[in-house]
Amino acid sequence: MSVITSIERGPAVLAPRSVAIVLRDFRLGGSERVAIGLANYWASRQIHVTLVVGCAEGPLKALVQPGIDVIDLALNSGLGDTRLVWALALRARAILRQGQVEACYVPGNSHWPVIPLLKTFLSGPVPRIVAQVSSPVCRASRSRLAQKGYDWRMRWLLGKADVITTLSDDLAREARRIIGCSRVEVVPLPALWDEGRPCAVAEGEMTILAAGRLVPIKGFDLLIDAFAIVARRHPAARLVICGEGPERQALETRIAGAGLTDRVTLTGYVPSIRPYLDRARLFVLSSHCESFGAVLVEALAAGRQIVSTRCSPVVDKLVTCPGAGSSVPVRDVPALAEAMGQILGQTPPECEALARIVAPYHVSCGGEAFLSLLHACEHDNRRATSQMKTGQALGFAINHPGISGRAL
């Protein structure tokens, strides 16, 4: 898969010579896919990239481009996510303290425990760290006490990062308030790779596409119920769901019970949904909760309208753009059916116009933004070191025998 083209790359910024990225494994996760995209892009910029992975297993490993070093720590995948990330932090610290990398990217909330350990090197150079806040940090479902505990943990884990990035202005404001620092920047999620220009919707196309792990939080059961309503009004409509997971059998039973076996397809895992987007009329996200919903960005980049539940702060930002699509309340089957039916009855907008909406989410934009922040960190660190040395020199002069402060 092509990751970047010279046309899309744009102006390059000054960058570190080497970057490490820490990952638990190569699971099917949004943070993992974004991290791999950044690794591939930075490698295309002739930067030496090292992936330090707790367990180098998972389907996304196939997306890592040749020339990127992968250090497999061979940790037991049965540790569970919490213990796995702390074990990753300890082992990554031992590897990165050798001073072979200048900077380190920590992707997403789940990898934060790596930060304080990397910043407590006993000797040697400490890599500059850019950490990403990838999901909401304040949730209405948390009690006041639970939120205070979360805030304390967040301050402790992120406090030593050189720079912190978030996906939106609102999230940046929350992060600054909780952490108590100003070094929080907004970098749109670099979710888009190069998969060709968008193509126009085929004449008469009525396929509705959805994608994600087949788990309850994705709301595919309610999507099937909503599609049953749409199918009665639009005889040519079809639903295709890309993804695999533990709910597959339950979903198949639901499809059969609704009499939709010949109109709903579960494809299983696919490495890329782009070929399916090219053959679809619209894309639907039916989730109950998402940290971002990068798949909506992918759909718009392919020139396809979207219908989404309000499962993420980014949803309403995207659908307010002319022609992009619409949003509906979470778990509202009639509203979801109505929104899908309305788009099926419309003339598709220009696909290039939809793709332009999400241009800032291309990996080239995010990749350069992160490099710029890391370069700024280096400049700030050098200035601080210079000021410290100057202060030490002045202190020595003041305290030197025979030289008074007044003489200075």
Of the candidates 251, 253, 249, the residue with the CA atom closest to the CA atom of residue 240? 251
Give me the pLDDT at residue 328, please: 97
Position 12 scores a pLDDT of 60
Shared domain for 304 and 341, answered yes or no, is yes
Flag whether 388 is in a domain. Answer: no
Whether 372 and 345 share a structural domain: no
Q: Is residue 402 part of a domain?
A: no
3-state secondary structure (DSSP) of residue 393:
helix
Q: Domain range spanning residue 293?
A: 207-360
How much is the pLDDT for 27? 87
pLDDT at res. 264:
98
Q: Does 335 lie in the same domain as 300?
A: yes
Same-domain check for residues 126 and 211? no
Q: What string of pLDDT tens digits covers the 408 residues of the chain?
A: 333 333 344 556 678 899 999 999 998 888 898 999 999 999 999 999 999 999 999 989 999 999 999 999 999 878 888 899 999 999 988 888 776 789 999 998 889 999 998 887 656 678 899 999 988 888 878 899 999 999 999 999 999 999 999 988 889 999 999 999 878 999 999 999 877 899 999 999 999 999 999 999 999 999 999 999 999 999 999 999 999 999 999 999 999 999 999 999 999 999 889 999 999 999 999 999 888 888 999 999 999 999 999 998 789 889 988 899 999 999 999 999 999 999 999 999 999 999 999 999 999 999 999 999 988 876 555 544 444 343 444 343 323 333 232 222
Residues 314 and 377 in one domain: no
Q: Is residue 275 part of a domain?
A: yes
Going across the sheet that includes 163-166, the strands are 69-72, 48-55, 18-25, 103-106, 128-133, 163-166, 184-186
Whether residues 103 and 41 fall in one domain: yes
> What CA–CA distance (Å, rounded) separates 176 from 194?
33
Same domain, 213 and 321: yes
154 and 262 assigned to the same domain = no
Domain count, the chain: 2
Looking at the fold, whether 224 and 328 belong to one and the same domain comes out as yes
**In the prediction, which pLDDT does 34 show?**
92
**229 and 179 in a common domain:** no
Write the CATH number for 72. Answer: 3.40.50.2000
Residue 297 lies in a domain: yes
List the one residue out of 246, 189, 138, 175 whose CA is nearest residue 30.
189
The answer to whether residue 389 is domain-embedded is: no
